[in-house]
Structure 1
């Protein structure tokens, strides 16, 4: 009987074999849902890649579980998009995951505007810790990472051993370009965040995201006044 590939049973040779055999994004998603059944979750930020993945996932598992890390400081356009997606894909199980601390409680413990004083701690409290709690109950999670997003993501594979959350991370879109993402959205007439039309290639919290002029760097508008490049969810 084949051993389920989990963090605990991870084998480098087996993972290499799987990554070599998975030829494209649909094969990756089919493999993931066949392998993990209901023990896999898609953590979606509802960016452009998210629209692609939600549509692809709906073709394979119409009852898939999708979570959104609701920090309470997202743009109104993001919340509006989530409602549109819920209406378009009514059978998908879309959940908004809240941090343990409300904004008021966070301010009381750590001071006002923690995202300005200590953005790493803010991300930990409002994104990393909530995701860690959700992933503790499953074997794998899906992410929309693409290799051309940043230097830190160039070595991402389809199937990855995620040492941050002690889980398997599945990344179906690693070979997609920004143009590929938008071609899919337009061809399939998918809804998307209106902020993308206002020079926001990557959309996070409204407190830490600004429009950009450099379209070559899709992450340029995130934490623009700091050296921070990632929210802490991804080591790669």
Structure 2
């Protein structure tokens, strides 16, 4: 994005109290999507911060801190939303704590309405097994929807190289369900580019990644992946489920 375009975005950005209408947000996507398609990740984040001000946040599942690291350099203090489902691996919580301690970001840990014990009492034990879609909806999708009410745009670490379902993911897109602008700064990055960025910048990585878990979710629904298998094949293994519902 040109310097002039950056200045224009800053001049038109929302303040902390001014949310834009869905129509205005869709117009932003229509105007900027193609122009930013090939832009560097840092430029995309800079544009989003300039355009949406503090109504822009990033999300992280704490598999690694690549997106948080990128954002901290461009927008110090940016909100990083972490969904604590109550079912995370200890290593994932540790990665979140390390990100909060070492990067210039503001980690917002968001919890579901019900604790695990309350969910078990109300919906039966092990809902992740009996109705995984409902479990994800209650512990991930709804908490994110509630949190994003404070924002006009959110950034994800989603990449086209991850799964067949994500190969057409836009860099700047419109999330019709959430009525928000969805920004994917590293959508075009390959696995090799991610690994190079981590190595060159000393980026935090969840220890489970090096223990056979290339894609990390809740512990009851995540299994080790055999070498050479699809990175997300360990998620909801043995079922037809491939996404938690956040990105669909």
Q: TM-score w.r.t. structure 1 length? A: 0.92
Q: Which residue of structure 2 lines up, in the alignment, with residue 68 of structure 1? A: 82
Given the alignment of the two structures, is residue 158 of structure 1 paired with residue 175 of structure 2, yes or no?
A: no
- Residues 180-217 of structure 1, C-alpha deviations (whole Å, 9 max, x = no match): 11111111112211101111000010010001015452
Q: Which residue of structure 2 lines up, in the alignment, with residue 25 of structure 1? A: 41
Unpaired segments of 5 or more residues in structure 1?
A: none
Q: Does the CA contact (< 8 Å) of 1:164 and 1:234 recur in 2? A: no
The structure 2 residue matched to 1:42, chosen from 58, 65, 85, is 58
Given the alignment of the two structures, is residue 8 of structure 1 paired with residue 23 of structure 2, yes or no?
A: yes
Q: Does the CA contact (< 8 Å) of 1:214 and 1:220 recur in 2? A: no
What pairs with 1:1-236 in structure 2 (closer than 5 Å)? Answer: 7-9=22-24, 10-11=26-27, 13-20=30-37, 23-48=39-64, 51-89=65-103, 91-235=104-248
Change (3 A) 1:230 1:205: same
Change (3 A) 1:225 1:31: same
RMSD over equivalenced CA pairs, Å: 1.8
Change (3 A) 1:104 1:6: same
Residue 17 of structure 1 and its aligned partner are, at CA, apart by 3.9
Residue 137 of structure 1 and its aligned partner are, at CA, apart by 1.7
For residues 143 and 107 of structure 1, the distance between their equivalents in structure 2, rounded to whole angstroms, comes to 30
Structure scoring higher RCO (CA < 8 A, sep ≥ 6) equals 1
4+ residue runs over 4 A deviation: 1-6
1:172 is paired with a residue of what secondary structure?
A: coil
1:86 is paired with a residue of what secondary structure?
A: helix
- Residues 61-93 of structure 1, C-alpha deviations (whole Å, 9 max, x = no match): 11100110000110001111111111112x411
Unpaired segments of 5 or more residues in structure 2?
A: 1-7, 14-19
Q: TM-score w.r.t. structure 2 length? A: 0.88
- Number of positions where the alignment pairs a residue of Structure 1 with one of Structure 2: 231
- Residues 87-107 of structure 1, C-alpha deviations (whole Å, 9 max, x = no match): 112x41102111000111101
Residue 136 of structure 1 and its aligned partner are, at CA, apart by 1.3
